[in-house]
Structure 1
Amino acid sequence: MTIQIRPYAEADVTAILDIINDNILHSTSLYDYEPRSLAKQSDLLKEKNSQTFSGDCGRNGWQNSRIWYVW
């Protein structure tokens, strides 16, 4: 099996929303109390994509990396 790490893209919103909402409803891993809407998750993606985060992310010394998840 090959694992590919890539940026979170608009095409991923629905699948990620399903995972997030399942965790909201069935675990204590998130502090949300109500499932998120598709519009809210899309807005979070746009917000994160508009931001640039600087710093060394460890291996390979990546610079200007982005954070692709919201918790």
Structure 2
Amino acid sequence: MLRRCAERGSLLKLSEKACKDCKMVSSGPICPNCKSSNLSNDWSGLLIIIDPENSEIAKKLNIKAPGKYALRVR
């Protein structure tokens, strides 16, 4: 969920965290993809994979499950 910050005009990610291991973005305390609790609030870029088996981008990034992924996780 994104909300525009009126003061700075930037976008804020509300309660969504990215997994440092597989980069999947989720709102829970544990990654639904790899079951890791190694999550970060500091991520950027958003990639949505719908059909990983037929996606060239998913193959290039070694993504096997559909979902939302961060491009960079710190």
More strand by share: 2
Q: TM-score, normalised by structure 1?
A: 0.26
Q: TM-score, normalised by structure 2?
A: 0.25
Larger Rg: 1
More helix by share: 1
